[in-house]
Each structure stands twice: as C-alpha cells, then as structure tokens.
C-alpha cells in the first residue's frame, strides 16, 4: 500500500481579482488529505461518501485521475481509500488536495516518474475537466506547499504565526460568485475595475510584508482586502461576524478565504492569541480549525 497526502490552502490576498489577471498570495496550510492506493483486481474508490468504482457523481476528481492513468499506463485495477482533514466545498482546496494526492499515489504505485510540475499540471487539467474552468492556484500550491505569489509562482517566506480558520458550513457556488462579480464589473467597470486592481496591489505590497515578517501590517492589509471583498458582493453576515470576532480577540487580521458567500474565513494571529481567537470564532458560530503554514506540499508518507 502507498499513502500520499497533500495540504489545504488559504488566500492571504487576491481571490476574485486573480480571475482578472491580478496577483494573489496563497498559503499551504497543515491540514491534509490522505490517499491510500494498493493493487487490486478491479477499481474501487472509498471515502466518507461511500465506496464506488469510477463514479463521476460521488468521486469525480479521483475518477478523472484514474481514467488519466489508464490512458498513460497499464492500470487495470486499484483500491483507493481517501481520508481528509479538509472540509469539502469550503474554499480550502479540498478538491485540489484529493486530486494531487491521488496523482502522486498512483504515480508512485505505477512508477510513471512524474515531476512535481507534471503533477501540478495534471491536477489542473483534472480540475478543468470536472469544473469546466479552474485556476491553477489550488493545484499548484497543494503540490508545492509554502507561500506562493500567483501567477508568478514566486515562493515567499513561510509565515510564522498562528492561522485560525472559521467555517460557516454554508455552501456557496464559486461559479455563481465569480459570475456575479463579472456582472458587477460589466455594469460598473469604472467602479469595480479599480476595486479589483486595488486587491491586486495588496498582493504586491503584501509580498514585501510577508518576507519581512511584518504580520501586523499583513493583518491590516487583510482587513482592507476583506472590506473590498464585501464591496464586490462576496461576503455574508456569518463571515463578517467571524472576522470581527477574530479581530476583536487579538488577531492581526481576518478575511474571507476563497470565493466567499459562505465557506470559510481565515485569521492570522500571534501564537499566544490563537486560543482566544479560536474561542471567539466558535462563540460566533464558526466551526474552527487551528493550523499553521506548511512548506510541505504533496508527499509520499508510506510505501
């Protein structure tokens, strides 16, 4: 049996603006999806959702990966088991993590010797197939780990502070939210265009601040970014409640991570304030995940 894992991710800056070519800063976080593979007579995929064969309703991403390897190798049967610490549909990269971990596990099992860039590219192609359109950000960060400036794929210094995630457990459609922002931008280009440009400028400024470990200033920029995300209509009352709870409990800053409209927010905080920030988000009604940045991307955990 081979076990591989890949991390989740949060955005420090830039979601939605990145769709319009603006830069974003994304950070791999130490919550992981683990995929176990073993030779078998037939194809089975098992997760908390159930056990299936190739099934694009229940296990779309893993099914697409299996079909991809059937095209490039002699794969006929395999048993695949999935365990994940990453909430599904929350903006934390759950689909990218399971895709990348599955690719790496099958690569190790079949000896196809994919380079990491190949793993990331294949993962992006799989997400495009399933979603219709997909950013390269999630699959790249889940593959490589670390803090990355997108689209330049420039590695930044690892963040050395607490990361607290608050999950609303409210489903939101990334496709719909992106379409809503596009409609706003089409209706009011002279207003929305500069907002998206300002979000992009935060990533440029944030690069220097992250590398300088100036987390007080990083947090201030995150708070401004949150205000602009609210301005383009991707916030919700729960996310606002969690972000203010985090800030009022000593976080450096807090904002939406991902598409918004539900899903998750992220706060960065001094290590000594993490417990208080987590408790405040929980009191506000959030499901809390306390984690940290990680420079470990996809990895083989067991051969």
**Domain stops at, among 101, 135, 155:** 155
**Residue 301 within a domain:** no
Instruction: Tell me: do 85 and 184 sit in the same domain.
Output: no
Instruction: Tell me: do 259 and 285 sit in the same domain.
Output: yes
Compute the distance between CA of residue 242 and CA of residue 47 in angstroms, rounded to an integer.
30
pLDDT at residue 133, as a whole number: 67
Residue numbers of the domain that contains 14: 2-155
pLDDT at residue 208, as a whole number: 96
DSSP conformation class of 173: -
Annotated binding-site members for ATP:
87-97
Catalytic, 160? Answer no
Phi, psi of 157 (to 5 degrees): -65, 145
Question: Could you tell me the pTM of the whole model?
Answer: 0.91
Give CA 301 to chain center in angstroms.
Answer: 21
Q: Which residues pair with 45 in a beta bridge?
A: 52, 80
**Residue 299 within a domain:** no
- List the CATH number of the domain containing 106: 3.30.230.10
Instruction: Tell me: do 122 and 205 sit in the same domain.
Output: no
Instruction: Tell me: do 11 and 135 sit in the same domain.
Output: yes
Instruction: Tell me: do 138 and 270 sit in the same domain.
Output: no
Contact criterion met (CB below 8 Å) for 124 and 139 = yes
220 CB burial (10 A radius; 0-12, 13-18, 19+): middle
Dihedral sign for Cα 230, 235, 237, 238, please: negative
pLDDT at residue 8, as a whole number: 97
Contact criterion met (CB below 8 Å) for 252 and 270 = yes
pLDDT at residue 178, as a whole number: 86
**Residue 297 within a domain:** no
Instruction: Tell me: do 226 and 243 sit in the same domain.
Output: yes
pLDDT in tens, the chain (303 residues): 999 999 999 999 999 998 888 999 999 999 999 999 999 999 999 999 999 999 999 999 999 999 999 988 888 899 999 999 998 878 898 999 999 999 999 999 999 999 999 999 999 999 888 887 677 888 999 999 999 998 888 999 999 999 999 999 998 887 788 889 999 999 999 999 999 999 999 999 999 999 999 999 999 999 999 999 999 999 999 999 999 999 999 999 999 998 899 999 999 999 999 999 999 999 999 999 999 999 999 999 986
**Residue 242 within a domain:** yes
- List the CATH number of the domain containing 178: 3.30.70.890
Q: Give residue for tokens 């779309």.
A: 60
**Residue 303 within a domain:** no
Which among 138, 190, 230, 275 is annotated as catalytic?
138
**Residue 54 corresponds to which tokens in the numbers above?**
């190739």
Domains: count for the chain: 2
């Amino acid at each position: 049996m081979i076990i591989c894992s890949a991390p989740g991710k949060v955005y420090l800056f830039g979601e939605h603006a990145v769709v319009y070519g603006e830069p974003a800063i994304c950070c791999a976080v130490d919550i992981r999806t683990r995929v176990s593979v073993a030779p078998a007579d037939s194809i089975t995929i098992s997760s908390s959702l159930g056990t299936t064969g190739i099934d694009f309703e229940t296990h779309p991403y893993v099914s697409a990966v299996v079909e991809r390897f059937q095209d490039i190798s002699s794969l006929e049967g395999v048993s695949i088991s999935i365990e994940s610490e990453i909430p599904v549909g929350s903006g934390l990269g759950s689909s990218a993590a399971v895709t990348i971990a599955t690719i790496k596990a099958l690569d190790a099992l079949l000896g196809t010797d994919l380079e990491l860039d190949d793993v990331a590219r294949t993962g992006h192609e799989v997400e495009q197939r399933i979603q219709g359109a997909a950013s390269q950000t999630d699959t790249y960060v889940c593959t490589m780990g670390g803090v990355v400036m997108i689209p330049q794929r420039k590695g930044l210094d690892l963040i050395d502070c607490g990361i607290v995630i608050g999950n609303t457990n409210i489903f939101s459609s990334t496709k719909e939210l992106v379409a809503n922002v596009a409609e706003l931008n089409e209706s009011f280009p002279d207003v929305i265009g500069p907002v998206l440009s300002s979000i992009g400028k935060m990533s440029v400024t944030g690069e220097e601040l992250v590398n300088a470990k100036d987390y007080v200033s990083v947090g201030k920029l995150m708070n401004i970014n949150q205000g602009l995300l609210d301005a383009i209509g991707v916030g919700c009352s729960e996310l606002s409640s969690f972000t203010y709870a985090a800030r009022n409990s000593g976080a450096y800053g807090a904002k939406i991570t991902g598409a918004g409209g539900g899903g998750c927010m992220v706060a960065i905080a001094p290590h000594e304030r993490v417990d208080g920030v987590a408790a405040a988000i929980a009191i506000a009604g959030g499901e809390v995940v306390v984690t940290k940045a990680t420079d470990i991307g996809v990895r083989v955990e067991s051969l």
